[in-house]
Amino acid sequence: MKLWGGRFETEPVEIMEEFNASLSFDRRLYREDIAVSRAHAMMLGKTGIISAEDAKAITKGLKEILTDMDKGKFTFSPSDEDIHTAVERGLGEKIGETAGKLRTGRSRNDQAVTDLRLYVMSDIDQVAMLIADLMAALTDRAESEGGAIMPGYTHMQKAQPITLGHHLMSYVFMLDRDAARFIDCRTRVDILSLGSGALAGTTFPIDRDLVAKELGFSKVSANSLDGVADRDFVLEFMADAAITMTHLSRFAEELILWTSREFGFARMSESFSTGSSIMPQKKNPDAAELVRGKTGRVTGDLMAMLTVMKGLPLAYNKDLQEDKEALFDAADTLKKCLRIMAGVVRTLTFDAARMSKAADDDFITATDLADYLAVKGIPFSAAHTIVGNIVKICVRKNKRLTDVTLEEYKDFSPLFERDVLDVIRVKRSVERRESAGGVAPKQLKSQITAARGLIAARGNDPSPGA
Amino acid sequence: MKLWGGRFETEPVEIMEEFNASLSFDRRLYREDIAVSRAHAMMLGKTGIISAEDAKAITKGLKEILTDMDKGKFTFSPSDEDIHTAVERGLGEKIGETAGKLRTGRSRNDQAVTDLRLYVMSDIDQVAMLIADLMAALTDRAESEGGAIMPGYTHMQKAQPITLGHHLMSYVFMLDRDAARFIDCRTRVDILSLGSGALAGTTFPIDRDLVAKELGFSKVSANSLDGVADRDFVLEFMADAAITMTHLSRFAEELILWTSREFGFARMSESFSTGSSIMPQKKNPDAAELVRGKTGRVTGDLMAMLTVMKGLPLAYNKDLQEDKEALFDAADTLKKCLRIMAGVVRTLTFDAARMSKAADDDFITATDLADYLAVKGIPFSAAHTIVGNIVKICVRKNKRLTDVTLEEYKDFSPLFERDVLDVIRVKRSVERRESAGGVAPKQLKSQITAARGLIAARGNDPSPGA
Amino acid sequence: MKLWGGRFETEPVEIMEEFNASLSFDRRLYREDIAVSRAHAMMLGKTGIISAEDAKAITKGLKEILTDMDKGKFTFSPSDEDIHTAVERGLGEKIGETAGKLRTGRSRNDQAVTDLRLYVMSDIDQVAMLIADLMAALTDRAESEGGAIMPGYTHMQKAQPITLGHHLMSYVFMLDRDAARFIDCRTRVDILSLGSGALAGTTFPIDRDLVAKELGFSKVSANSLDGVADRDFVLEFMADAAITMTHLSRFAEELILWTSREFGFARMSESFSTGSSIMPQKKNPDAAELVRGKTGRVTGDLMAMLTVMKGLPLAYNKDLQEDKEALFDAADTLKKCLRIMAGVVRTLTFDAARMSKAADDDFITATDLADYLAVKGIPFSAAHTIVGNIVKICVRKNKRLTDVTLEEYKDFSPLFERDVLDVIRVKRSVERRESAGGVAPKQLKSQITAARGLIAARGNDPSPGA
Amino acid sequence: MKLWGGRFETEPVEIMEEFNASLSFDRRLYREDIAVSRAHAMMLGKTGIISAEDAKAITKGLKEILTDMDKGKFTFSPSDEDIHTAVERGLGEKIGETAGKLRTGRSRNDQAVTDLRLYVMSDIDQVAMLIADLMAALTDRAESEGGAIMPGYTHMQKAQPITLGHHLMSYVFMLDRDAARFIDCRTRVDILSLGSGALAGTTFPIDRDLVAKELGFSKVSANSLDGVADRDFVLEFMADAAITMTHLSRFAEELILWTSREFGFARMSESFSTGSSIMPQKKNPDAAELVRGKTGRVTGDLMAMLTVMKGLPLAYNKDLQEDKEALFDAADTLKKCLRIMAGVVRTLTFDAARMSKAADDDFITATDLADYLAVKGIPFSAAHTIVGNIVKICVRKNKRLTDVTLEEYKDFSPLFERDVLDVIRVKRSVERRESAGGVAPKQLKSQITAARGLIAARGNDPSPGA
């Protein structure tokens, strides 16, 4: 069934029908589509644009279709070009030609974008909850095992000792900004487009505020062209998804490194690992690799839609049909990855002993040594040079900082005293970094407290069906 | 000069020095870099980490360097690898080895990202003002000439008559969302990273709140790893820029169409046009074409940075040096394009007669005809089919809707009465679309009033030096 | 069924099974997968690695599975994680534990990439034929109706008169380069990876040349790590697809313009158009809009895969599982768009009168006027300025070049003589551009002849099932 | 100076002049631009379109300008909008109004693209040589130190033992395909556009073959619209650059891992490392990190240009001005990265002992064990399961495969005999993988021989100034 045959002499050819059809991917919007139609019909009835009786027949029919679709009992026809057409055809079969009155004062242009806005709002709510859940998983591990000392890296080289908790919490704050970004985006999705008609509004005395209220929108679009032609909310959602995935990809990379033999800081649960068809010994961190890989996918979705939108004149153009598949793919991928990562975090086994051993290595407290001298009044730049020389000599002699005697230290600078031997201890290095946001244990506690507040604000545990 | 030679036995080779250096592009951060250093030095003095005297010497020296750089009198050395090094070297030349105390309790890692955050906040403020200025330019034209009737298009085919004002205002609302997106982004840029040290905070008793206040940051980063390692604020800024450019590209496309001979709706000012070296008659809308083209550039910048960030382990990696050029390019391009578009809008000449003539064409009021029947009680779907047939017959007979007589209309449906001949007039079509956000003149007035409020909220006219 | 359970104590959780599984998208490789397995089994038999009897049982079993799958009678199990697993499970059910011998001397790593290489080679062949078909459609129209004069544009402004044939043929040469790019790519796909094992080759005395010959590969990969770990052939295919789509998007844009009321150069067949649910008069060029939009999709696919590959260490990583969906999407989209465009070109109706009228406008022969003066010895730059002035005066006086009298021309330059009135005629302008590749009719003939040769070289009409 | 002022009443505004100007980036094309002009002038003289005298004056003048520019003595004017304008203005100042004859029969449209094609051909030649040089550096190291045994990884988990030489050679074959891709691209760049005029060819009897020969082009563009409007050669070059960078990013990632303390397989030369301003002990593999990061940049450049080209109608549009900066950035970045990587490879210090130790770990020869059973007639699938169980038990008991006694092996399968204890030795595992492309030493020799041939074919050592 088509909604537009009147002026045409002939039918599209088959490859064109297929090329044009969107039912295969927009049918997932059926709940939103029916909700939008019901709100519209209700409003048409209340404003007297159609009779109360007709409105009732339509809303009743739509409710039945919803039930049918929920139960998988609705029969789609190969000729339904999209979900809107399918619903309207179904309605006609149920209530006869009154179904045609549903189209009064609206167009597929404003209907389609309204469906999509409802869908995106719901997805944002789910994403916010899933982010909060991953934040909770990280915070829980940071609280229970976060005191373990591990090496901090820059340039993949050991830099300064940190704690596992500090490391895990850094992702909590990244994720909180991700959630905030989605929530900010939501205010720009939360605008009712319905009532914009094809592009110019409508001659019927519709009541858009009534529809907005019924559907849960806070605002009504101020300009009908803008209402049907823009998809910036899709771009923004995808950009937010790509940024979140980028964060996940960084953590995924670290998990892959940590679970390697070389690092050995953690073991991934078998539940999130797989093996090899040829190498019997393999246990691979597939969950993390897939998350890292799927980052490309979401970035690609964003790039696709930016390219689609570039240079499109107003108002609706068929190019915009490309909005849905890319959006759904980005949203589905992000939600799956968030769930997987929460599962991975909750089931990971950390090896505190390996971490601690790795931290006690490679001149990792050299900065503490320089700070020590700086405190005694030498400019930090000079202190840095002195310690650089100590390191150079140690490398040549194959020594560690703890192998250097006090006398030897004094040869480098008379300012070194006995307490220097304490300062270069890894544990002391961690404890002494008490600046706000630093790695000292009491700072970790503050971070955890702060995070609990953010998590509570962001959402609850996602329900199983979310 | 390098800040790190101590432990090295040899020097980098020349191609590596060049490959590694960032001074050519990060020198534009000199104001931010010096501000950050001055705030840091002031805090080191107030907290007693260095003496008040040293702090004073440092801040005084920095102020002189700022003056030198502002005046173009500072001599950069080919061996300065970045702006931080150049400033510290300059300071050393002015005040001797005390300069080295400036490095106490901080690292290039936290310093560089703090510089960048200050820069981005300032750019967001400029962008918001420039967006507001373009909104104002559009609103002014919508107010003064917006009543002109023009064809509205979907699929690049004439759809329904609209007004020039309605069309221009649609971009005002898009741009307002763009500005809102940047302002939301600002809350995530507005976080002090300084004090995160290299990655783990510092052992010195620094006062980060003091520094934040001095530099105008509202928050202090909660986790030092996150503070130095993330660039999500860069990604978000670029995504916002790409979305805004996408809006500009759509308007640019329309300007190119409107100024073509075929449309002829507008003439671009010679001030924003160029000619041809071979074809003496050409006057090309280069300004709009360049804006459309530069959309690719900003999208590319975003893609670049998403790729850079993908899969980077914590904390700082040298890859992040790539953040600046892409960011600067995106920001500079966006600001230029916003200015150009404001200039284009203010100097465009509209041809209301051509628009009006174009609107009175191609069965553009066929929807009104269908609405007419629907009001009389026929389901809209049936009305749509009837009007589709009228159009089909007209196409065959080469007639327009206004060529059809009342009797002929009645042949299609007995519901047609004399007033149908009024309904199909273009002007009536516009006037009757009084739904909220519709094209009717009084709706345009509301839009303009609303826009004036938004513009006032978004910013003032950008100052010449912005 | 899994191919790797042995060393595991527990099973993956359900969301992980789903996240990990690739059967939903890699099942389309079943023909390639079975062909690869059959060639492998045959080789194992011939080299005596397994018995001839076992080899025969395996190849027979595989053939049956192929038939089952072709007929849709093969039952996939939800626990089959990919097509390789499904086939091996099916084989086991048919021939018992001998099926397990198929895994001798190979790995999923080399098998999966070999399947994909076969698939891509086949897709390249199809794409080359489809491109040739579109080239043929364009050349046919250029031959039959190409003499029609139309305006040539630069900057969307009328520049010089050209012919429809010349315009259509420009796409033929673009498409020929697109085909050449794919064919060059094919030489880098046409490399047998099988025999690379998991990453290091195998201890079994396999004969890779035998397998290559059986499967139609010309070369065998020289290094086993490279053989399993690289997907540059996927990137190259996608880049070629994105470039081809970019060409199609340009033609699509032109079709959208040409079928607008403002241009009116062509009418799109109803077979490739659609209508509106609200506006009964609409006939929209959806086919072209979708092609233009889908360009973004293919660009996004390429960006996805470039991001996936960035920074992946050797050899196989699970991230590479992302190669297939993006590749399939890019290839399917490109093939559909090529077919659609060929259909559109073959059914388009050109309006030669509208084109010709549009060409006779807007000082379109001003260059001829400047050339005229240049021939008489004035430097072209001076001639350009004189004609620029003529145009300026004409614009002020609202005249066209053909309205200017000989005497008036002489006022601008004494070099103008009677024949200038011929030179400014549009038809003469076209005829006189006889430089190689120019718009003169005889040059068009040469182009058509050349194109016929290229089309013959690139492929035949694609079979309906291609 | 502008080449087009005649028909204009007013001047562009200043921000527009700046926005429009391309001299800042296209001046690097001055050699190509002058070569093109000289070839054009020479042809104009030979064909008698201008006098031999004029042609001589022009070519002489151009030669002087070339010398001036080479010596940095040419004075560019702020009003020169591009390099073409600057050269023509300079020529006018040298030889008077005869300079204006140079514009006869050509346009900036065909001139600009011809300049760019010459530039890209030269860049391809340089890139091919630089790739060959990196291939040579890798092959040299593979030859001299390639026998060292190291772990091979899949999923970042130890998989099977390989050799350093085998690993390095895998990149040689990737790079060879990269070079081949550029060389294929070159055949599509190597087409003379000059003579296409603005878009339609020219009325002057030009001889394009003469110009092609003079400039070193093998072909002449067949269609003038295509000749000026397409930039597919730019897209293809960039796609090839992005794929090559992706290969480099993978190697860069591995170098970063190898030079970490955890792996310790290699030490990067201090010449390609840098230190930290705060941590005196740091030696960071910046060269590799920058190469990995700059991969994003080149991908972004490609994305930018794909977006620019999408949906652009024919022929030239000003958007195309964006082709140069992205192209130059991609080409410059690629060339720098290739040089840096060759330097890194030549100066890297490998730690064969660390590699070898790392290889002897983690059940890395489990596949050999399974192969052993398969050879004895058990289906590989069954052998895989048995060995999986052995690994599981070993993990529980914290044993390695070499800790398992023959008797214990026999408990898992009676097929195990004394020689199994040899089979599980790492060195044997490597030696026995003699399949074509496998890791066995004699296969490495073949690879090196093959590579020497490829390197010789691809280019010579790049000259210092390349």
pLDDT band at C216 (very low <50, low <70, confident <90, very high): very high
Q: Do D12 and B270 touch (CB under 8 A)?
A: yes
Q: Do A159 and D276 touch (CB under 8 A)?
A: yes
Q: Using CA atoms, how far apart are residues A277 and D305, in angstroms rounded to an integer?
A: 42
pLDDT for the residue numbered D337: 97
Are C118 and C167 part of one and the same domain? yes
Residues of B in contact with C385 (CB under 8 A): 280
Question: pTM for the whole thing?
Answer: 0.96
- Out of A75, A104, A133, a domain closes at A104
C280 closest CB neighbour out of B280, B358, B366: B366
Under 8 Å CB pairs connecting chains B and C tally to 129
In a domain, C444, yes or no: no
Q: Do A279 and C2 touch (CB under 8 A)?
A: no
Listed residue (B335, B280, B322) closest to B129, CA to CA: B335
Burial class from Cβ neighbours inside 10 Å (0-12, 13-18, 19+) for residue B24 reads exposed
Are D233 and D263 part of one and the same domain? yes
With tokens 């944002």, the residue in question is A124
Mean pLDDT over B154-180 rounds to 97
In a domain, C247, yes or no: yes
Are B18 and B134 part of one and the same domain? no
Q: Which residue from C minimizes the CA distance to B300?
A: C303
Two structure tokens written together for D229: 């409007």
> What are C317-337's pLDDT values in tens digits?
999 999 999 999 999 999 999
Q: Do C314 and D170 touch (CB under 8 A)?
A: yes
- Distance from the Cα of C72 to chain A's closest Cα (Å) equals 21
Two structure tokens written together for B251: 């308007």
| Torsion angle of the four alpha carbons A240, A241, A247, A250, in this order, in degrees rounded to the nearest 10 | -140
Q: Which residue from A minimizes the CA distance to D387?
A: A280
Residues of D in contact with B281 (CB under 8 A): 7
**In contact, B324 and B26? CB cutoff 8 Å:** yes
Residues of A in contact with D279 (CB under 8 A): 154, 159-160, 366-367
In a domain, C363, yes or no: no
Q: Do C281 and B370 touch (CB under 8 A)?
A: no
Q: Do A436 and B173 touch (CB under 8 A)?
A: no
pLDDT of B11 > 80? The answer is no
pLDDT of C279 > 90? The answer is no
**In contact, C158 and D158? CB cutoff 8 Å:** no
Segment-wise mean pLDDT, segments of 10 residues, chain D, 466 residues:
70 83 92 98 97 97 97 91 94 95 93 98 97 97 97 95 98 98 98 97 96 98 98 98 98 98 95 84 92 98 98 96 96 97 96 96 89 90 91 90 93 94 94 96 97 86 40
**In contact, B122 and A162? CB cutoff 8 Å:** no
- Domain holding C30: CATH number? 1.10.275.10
Are D81 and D230 part of one and the same domain? no
pLDDT for the residue numbered D10: 72
Residues of D in contact with A363 (CB under 8 A): 280-281
Q: Which residue from C minimizes the CA distance to D104?
A: C380
> Which residue in the list D51, D77, D79, D276 is annotated as catalytic?
D276
pLDDT band at A78 (very low <50, low <70, confident <90, very high): confident
Are D191 and D283 part of one and the same domain? yes
B300 closest CB neighbour out of D103, D281, D307: D307
Are C97 and C133 part of one and the same domain? no
B362 closest CB neighbour out of C261, C289, C369: C261
- How many other CB atoms sit within 10 Å of the CB of residue A355? 24
Are A285 and A213 part of one and the same domain? yes
Percent of chain B with pLDDT over 70: 97
Are B89 and B176 part of one and the same domain? no
**In contact, A174 and B413? CB cutoff 8 Å:** no
Q: Do B158 and C261 touch (CB under 8 A)?
A: yes
Two structure tokens written together for A45: 């009835």
How far apart, in Å, are the Cα atoms of A462 and each of A335, A453, D454? 11, 17, 57
Which residues, 6+ apart, have CB-to-CB distance to A124 below 8 Å?
A182, A183, A185, A186, A189, A237
pLDDT for the residue numbered C1: 62
D319 closest CB neighbour out of B292, B301, B310: B292
Residues of B in contact with A439 (CB under 8 A): 200-201, 224
Q: Which residue from D minimizes the CA distance to B298?
A: D304
- Out of C60, C85, C104, a domain closes at C104
pLDDT of C175 > 50? The answer is yes
Q: Do C326 and A300 touch (CB under 8 A)?
A: yes
pLDDT band at B462 (very low <50, low <70, confident <90, very high): very low
Residues of B in contact with D333 (CB under 8 A): none
* Domain enclosing residue D237, as ranges: 109-357+449-460
Burial class from Cβ neighbours inside 10 Å (0-12, 13-18, 19+) for residue A463 reads exposed
Sign of the Cα pseudo-torsion (B143, B144, B145, B149, in order): positive
The yes-or-no answer on residue D166 being catalytic is: no
Q: Which of C1, C2, C3, C19 to mutate to test the interface with A (most CBs of A within 10 A)?
A: C19
D318 closest CB neighbour out of B289, B304, B322: B289
Residues of A in contact with B292 (CB under 8 A): 310-311
Q: Do D297 and B322 touch (CB under 8 A)?
A: yes
- Distance from the Cα of C465 to chain D's closest Cα (Å) equals 30
Q: How far is CA D309 from the centre of its chain?
A: 22
- DSSP letter for D461, please: P
In a domain, C26, yes or no: yes
A167 closest CB neighbour out of B88, B154, B314: B314
Residues of C in contact with D236 (CB under 8 A): 181, 239, 243
Mean pLDDT over A291-319 rounds to 97
- Out of A53, A80, A104, a domain closes at A104
Q: Do D284 and A154 touch (CB under 8 A)?
A: yes
Q: Which residue from C minimizes the CA distance to D202?
A: C433
- How many other CB atoms sit within 10 Å of the CB of residue D397? 10
Active site residues of B: 155, 276
Are D256 and D216 part of one and the same domain? yes
- Domain holding C259: CATH number? 1.20.200.10
Q: Using CA atoms, how far apart are residues B166 and B159, in angstroms rounded to an integer?
A: 15
> Which chains lie within 8 Å of chain A at 3 or more CB pairs, if any?
B, C, D
- Distance from the Cα of D281 to chain A's closest Cα (Å) equals 6
In a domain, A33, yes or no: yes
C153 closest CB neighbour out of D88, D314, D371: D314
The yes-or-no answer on residue D155 being catalytic is: yes
Q: Are strands A349-350 and A266-267 parallel, antiparallel or unpaired?
A: antiparallel
> What are B400-451's pLDDT values in tens digits?
999 999 999 999 999 999 999 999 999 999 999 999 999 999 999 999 999 9
> Which residue in the list D155, D277, D381, D435 is annotated as catalytic?
D155
Longest Cα–Cα distance of chain A, Å, equals 100
Q: Which residue from B minimizes the CA distance to D286?
A: B318
With tokens 């190849």, the residue in question is C59
Report the run of H or E that residue D149 belongs to, with start and end: strand D149-154
Are C87 and C117 part of one and the same domain? no
In a domain, B190, yes or no: yes
Q: Do B201 and A439 touch (CB under 8 A)?
A: yes
pLDDT of C420 > 60? The answer is yes
pLDDT of C59 > 90? The answer is yes
Q: Do D304 and B308 touch (CB under 8 A)?
A: no
Report the run of H or E that residue D181 belongs to, with start and end: helix D164-189
Q: Do B263 and C262 touch (CB under 8 A)?
A: yes
How many domains does chain B fold into? 2
> What are C90-122's pLDDT values in tens digits?
999 999 999 999 999 999 999 999 999 999 999
pLDDT of C214 > 60? The answer is yes
Q: Which residue from C minimizes the CA distance to D185?
A: C181
D6 closest CB neighbour out of C102, C309, C385: C385
Report the run of H or E that residue D306 belongs to, with start and end: helix D286-309
> What are C377-410's pLDDT values in tens digits?
898 889 999 999 999 999 899 999 999 999 999 9
- Distance from the Cα of A359 to chain D's closest Cα (Å) equals 11
**In contact, B170 and A229? CB cutoff 8 Å:** yes
Residues of A in contact with B253 (CB under 8 A): 311-313
Q: Do B156 and A313 touch (CB under 8 A)?
A: yes
> Which residue in the list A77, A218, A276, A446 is annotated as catalytic?
A276
Are C268 and C133 part of one and the same domain? yes
pLDDT for the residue numbered C460: 56
Q: Do B310 and A384 touch (CB under 8 A)?
A: no
Residues of C in contact with D229 (CB under 8 A): 170
In a domain, D30, yes or no: yes
- Distance from the Cα of D194 to chain A's closest Cα (Å) equals 30
**In contact, C185 and C233? CB cutoff 8 Å:** yes
Are D60 and D147 part of one and the same domain? no
Residues of D in contact with C7 (CB under 8 A): 388-389, 391-392, 395
pLDDT of B187 > 60? The answer is yes
In a domain, D313, yes or no: yes
Burial class from Cβ neighbours inside 10 Å (0-12, 13-18, 19+) for residue C396 reads exposed
Q: Do A282 and D159 touch (CB under 8 A)?
A: yes
**In contact, B379 and A92? CB cutoff 8 Å:** no
